[in-house]
């Protein structure tokens, strides 16, 4: 079996952590059990480009239990857990091509290695696989039945492809399932981003000014959690609706130009490019900590920082000190890559359980229904979203009410009033 991992001897440590994460993934466990019995993915080769974590391991093991031949590479050069990669190869017979800290050439070589397996179904986090297939590996298109996409940034790219009429096969936007973005983006990003910042800095958040750029689901979760740790939160936004929401949630809202000299900690979660630019770096306080938790490392203009900095050194893992012309030091975390996966372990298993349950069920749906789908980005079918919520509740041991007959009738009628 061909594979490319950092150190295969890390496998035992990885297996322990994969099994431990599964404890918090009851929905995935149930799906795996059904997949083992029904084998809905028999004969399907899956090319997965996801963050190689303990949670992803449990997803790909589940896909394999369902009969799929799974090949896995990383969806970010800095997010791989090398022990997990080693264990997937050693204990689960899944070819993995991912090394934490790989350079861009290796990153794309690894995606190409997965594509060499001629996947029939692509499973992306950020749409890099789809991008490569549509540019340099078009020969694979006739063999592909469909794909799934995990994240907001990827879905934005795919919708742009659909609008330009170039998307060559149907893709389900897993990110847009309610059981994905309402929990993963909100609770997951909120907690794991603070975890990443704390591991890279050991900073006390209480009393600090914490600037959150972007008030989508990720930004909302992050602002909430930073406030919960005692920080004074400033939100920057470009969308008036979201800015109103941030203000009414009790946060200070202002342009980055005003926030830049005020912040002790900055984190971008916008999905856009150069949210923190030269003019912002230049006015930051001494000691300012800056990171990104959006999918790509373009939200911070790092070349501009490198251009104006007079000195640079690594002070801790994932923490680089840059000296600005006036003598202030700013601290860039994780090379501007998503800090929750660069210096921490990504979202906790309990929340990835729902995201990856959607992935597994959407893969099954695509196999069953691809002949009726066209070259579009599709929403996750409602029944899958509802099923994931139901299974998660069961997994959490929570019971809820059901409508009485009278209530069903009332909700369906328009005659009743005061
Ligand atoms: N994205 C965010 N957190 C993740 C995790 N733990 N595993 C895979 N993808 C993620």
**157: how many CB neighbours lie within 10 A of its CB?**
22
Q: For residues 236 and 155, state if they share a domain.
A: no
- Calculate how far, in angstroms, residue 346's C-alpha sits from the geometric centre of ligand 1: 5
Task: Please indicate, yes or no, if residue 284 is contained in any of the structural domains.
Answer: yes
- Calculate how far, in angstroms, residue 324's C-alpha sits from the geometric centre of ligand 1: 34
Q: For residues 15 and 160, state if they share a domain.
A: yes
For residues 38 and 414, the model is more confident at: 38
Task: Quote the crossing angle between the two packed helices 217-228 and 189-201, to the nearest 10°.
Answer: 60
Q: For residues 120 and 238, state if they share a domain.
A: no
Identify the pLDDT of residue 32.
Answer: 98
Q: For residues 68 and 192, state if they share a domain.
A: no
Distance CA 264, CA 203 (A): 10
Indicate which residue's Cα is closest to atom 5 of ligand 1: 346
* Cα–Cα distances in angstroms (integers) from residue 393 to residues 115, 389, 416, 418, in the given order: 37, 6, 33, 35
- Calculate how far, in angstroms, residue 51's C-alpha sits from the geometric centre of ligand 1: 6
Q: What digits encode the pLDDT tens for the residues 295-304?
A: 999 999 999 9
- Calculate how far, in angstroms, residue 343's C-alpha sits from the geometric centre of ligand 1: 13
Task: Please indicate, yes or no, if residue 376 is contained in any of the structural domains.
Answer: yes
- Calculate how far, in angstroms, residue 250's C-alpha sits from the geometric centre of ligand 1: 29
Q: For residues 372 and 309, state if they share a domain.
A: no
Ligand 1 pocket: which of 62, 123, 192 to mutate (most atoms within 8 A of CB): 192
What ligand 1 atom has the least distance to the C-alpha of 125?
A: 9
Q: What digits encode the pLDDT tens for the residues 298-331?
A: 999 999 999 999 999 999 999 999 999 999 999 9
> Which CATH number fits the domain that encloses residue 357?
3.40.50.1480
Q: For residues 285 and 361, state if they share a domain.
A: no
* Cα–Cα distances in angstroms (integers) from residue 181 to residues 36, 86, 159, 228, in the given order: 28, 30, 17, 21
- Calculate how far, in angstroms, residue 57's C-alpha sits from the geometric centre of ligand 1: 10
Distance CA 92, CA 88 (A): 5
Q: For residues 363 and 248, state if they share a domain.
A: no
Task: Please indicate, yes or no, if residue 210 is contained in any of the structural domains.
Answer: yes
| Alpha helices by DSSP H, 309-348 | 339-342
Distance CA 279, CA 147 (A): 40
Q: For residues 221 and 324, state if they share a domain.
A: yes
Task: Please indicate, yes or no, if residue 106 is contained in any of the structural domains.
Answer: yes
Identify the pLDDT of residue 46.
Answer: 98
What ligand 1 atom has the least distance to the C-alpha of 151?
A: 1
Q: How confident is the model at residue 401 (pLDDT cuts 50, 70, 90)?
A: very high
> Which CATH number fits the domain that encloses residue 285?
3.40.50.720
Q: For residues 48 and 89, state if they share a domain.
A: yes
Identify the pLDDT of residue 155.
Answer: 96
Task: Please indicate, yes or no, if residue 408 is contained in any of the structural domains.
Answer: no
Q: For residues 359 and 297, state if they share a domain.
A: no
Which residues constitute the domain of residue 37?
Answer: 8-180+347-396
Identify the pLDDT of residue 417.
Answer: 78
**Any residues with Cβ below 6 Å from ligand 1, and which?**
50-51, 53, 55-56, 188, 192, 341, 346-347, 352
Helix (H) or strand (E) holding 27: helix 26-38
Indicate which residue's Cα is closest to atom 8 of ligand 1: 51
- Calculate how far, in angstroms, residue 362's C-alpha sits from the geometric centre of ligand 1: 18
Q: For residues 285 and 229, state if they share a domain.
A: yes
Q: What digits encode the pLDDT tens for the residues 162-178?
A: 999 999 999 999 999 99
Distance CA 171, CA 363 (A): 10
Task: Please indicate, yes or no, if residue 412 is contained in any of the structural domains.
Answer: no
Per-residue pLDDT for 418 more than 80?
no
Distance CA 54, CA 139 (A): 32
Pairing of strands 329-333, 121-124: unpaired
Whether pTM exceeds 0.85: yes
Task: Look at the chain and report how many structural domains it folds into.
Answer: 2
Task: Please indicate, yes or no, if residue 135 is contained in any of the structural domains.
Answer: yes
Task: Please indicate, yes or no, if residue 414 is contained in any of the structural domains.
Answer: no
Q: For residues 329 and 354, state if they share a domain.
A: no
């Amino acid at each position: 079996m061909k594979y490319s991992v950092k150190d295969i001897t890390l496998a035992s440590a990885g297996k322990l952590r994969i099994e431990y994460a599964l404890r918090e993934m009851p929905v995935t466990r149930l799906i795996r059990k059904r997949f083992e019995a029904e084998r809905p993915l028999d004969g399907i080769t899956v090319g997965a480009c996801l963050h190689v974590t303990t949670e992803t391991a449990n997803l790909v093991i589940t896909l394999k239990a369902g009969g799929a031949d799974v090949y896995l590479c990383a969806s970010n050069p800095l997010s791989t857990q090398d022990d997990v990669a080693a264990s997937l190869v050693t204990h689960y017979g899944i070819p993995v091509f991912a090394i934490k800290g790989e350079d861009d050439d290796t990153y794309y070589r690894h995606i190409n290695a997965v594509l060499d397996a001629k996947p029939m179904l692509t499973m992306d986090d950020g749409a890099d696989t789809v991008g490569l297939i549509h540019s340099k590996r078009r020969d694979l298109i006739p063999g592909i039945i469909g794909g799934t996409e995990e994240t907001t940034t990827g879905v934005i790219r795919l919708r742009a492809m659909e609008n330009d009429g170039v998307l060559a096969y149907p893709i389900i936007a897993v990110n847009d399932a309610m059981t994905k973005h309402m929990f993963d983006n909100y609770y997951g990003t909120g907690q794991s981003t603070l975890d990443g910042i704390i591991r890279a800095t050991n900073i006390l958040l209480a009393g600090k000014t914490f600037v959150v750029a972007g008030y989508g689901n990720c930004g909302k979760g992050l602002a909430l959690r930073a406030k919960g740790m005692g920080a004074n939160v400033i939100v920057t936004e470009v969308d008036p609706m979201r800015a109103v929401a941030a203000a009414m949630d009790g946060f200070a809202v202002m342009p980055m130009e005003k926030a830049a000299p005020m912040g002790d900690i900055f984190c971008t979660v916008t999905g856009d490019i150069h949210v923190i630019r030269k003019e912002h770096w230049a006015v930051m306080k001494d000691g300012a900590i800056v990171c990104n938790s959006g999918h790509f490392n373009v939200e911070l203009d790092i070349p501009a920082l490198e251009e104006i900095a007079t000195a640079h050194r690594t002070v801790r893992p994932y923490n680089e000190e840059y000296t600005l012309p006036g003598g202030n030091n700013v601290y860039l975390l994780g090379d501007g890559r998503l800090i929750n996966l660069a210096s921490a372990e990504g979202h906790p298993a309990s929340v990835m359980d729902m995201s990856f349950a959607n992935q597994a069920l959407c893969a099954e749906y695509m196999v069953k229904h691809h002949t009726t789908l066209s070259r579009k980005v599709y929403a996750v079918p409602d029944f899958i979203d509802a099923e994931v919520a139901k299974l998660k509740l069961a997994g959490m041991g929570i019971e809820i009410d059901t409508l009485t007959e009278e209530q069903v009738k009332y909700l369906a009628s328009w005659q009743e009033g005061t």
